[in-house]
Amino acid sequence: MATEHPQDQHDHQHGQAHGHDHGHDHGSADRMAAWQETDPAEWFTERFWDDRYRERPIWSGNANQRLVETAADLTPGRALDVGCGEGGDAIWLAAQGWQVTGSDVSPMALERARQAGEAAGVADAVTWEQADGCGDWAPPAGAYDLVTASFLQFPRSELADFHRKLAAAVAPGGTLLITAHHADSHAGEGTPFTADLFATAQEMADGLALDDGWEVSATDPTREAVFPPGPEGTLMSVRDAVLRAVRRR
């Protein structure tokens, strides 16, 4: 069986144990084809993602496990979710009392997120913004108590610059959370992806090179996830690369 694209493989959970409730399974072969047939230079563009989202919803709508784990220790404030997709994380944060900006390159995803936010009754707590994180975009400096990006995979050459923009948006006392796929679970045979596409958490931390005004934790933990997502999947161990950094001042 072909492996899903790394960006399709992540689990969205409610934060309860065994919350493996993926909402959508459209077949891994289908989903791999989009990646295989597209020039890698297009993998991070509005057109590519709008084409994917146009057909049907992709994600379950639930929050990602790493975000739920991290936010559990935080007091709700202002949050930025970059690459928010259909809004599962942003809407979950809003429901916990956060004032959230959800940002994504895909207007199709953002429209679906907006509708989901309305349905969840948190429309007033979330602002949706279209932005290309690969471009000149930079979020407002020092503006957020939490900046999170879940499974927004960029080319390695652009990663450090992108992560620095995210870090710069964290307010003193705030938290940066970057959750990414790990090569162990997402590259290799049956995928169009090579291991060098994926940074470990330590490599992300090295690229960011935060000074001692930050407390940094870089780990590559596994989690249990149904793979491929959906009723045909089986429960298996999936590795993430997780960078958490708290800005002391």
Ligand X SMILES: C[S@@+](CC[C@H](N)C(=O)[O-])C[C@H]1O[C@@H](n2cnc3c(N)ncnc32)[C@H](O)[C@@H]1O
Which residues of this chain interact with ligand X, rule CB under 6 A?
A: 7, 10, 44, 49, 59, 64, 83-85, 88-89, 104-106, 109, 132-134, 150-152
Q: Is 151 helix (H, G, I), strand (E, B) or coil?
A: coil
Phi, psi at 241, each rounded to 5°: -110, 120
Residue nearest to ligand X (CB): 85
CA atoms of 1 and 7, how far apart (whole Å)? 17
The residue count of the chain comes to 249
- Nearest distance in Å: CB 195, ligand X: 18
Per 3-state DSSP, the chain is made up of helix, strand and coil in percentages (nearest 5) of: 35, 25, 40
- Nearest distance in Å: CB 151, ligand X: 4
- Cβ atoms of 103 and 130 closer than 8 Å: yes
CA nearest 95: which of 60, 59, 143, 63?
A: 63
Angle in degrees, CA 197, 224, 66, rounded to 5:
65
Kindly state the tokens that stand for 21: 């409730």
- Cβ atoms of 159 and 206 closer than 8 Å: no
Nearer to ligand X, 49 or 227 (CB): 49
Q: Among all chains, which residue has been given the structure tokens 């679906």?
A: 112
- Nearest distance in Å: CB 8, ligand X: 7
- Nearest distance in Å: CB 93, ligand X: 12
Q: What is the DSSP letter of 187?
A: S
Nearer to ligand X, 54 or 248 (CB): 54
- Nearest distance in Å: CB 109, ligand X: 5
- Nearest distance in Å: CB 193, ligand X: 13
Nearer to ligand X, 109 or 116 (CB): 109
Nearer to ligand X, 62 or 200 (CB): 62
Nearer to ligand X, 113 or 218 (CB): 113
Nearer to ligand X, 41 or 72 (CB): 41
Kindly state the tokens that stand for 3: 């492996």
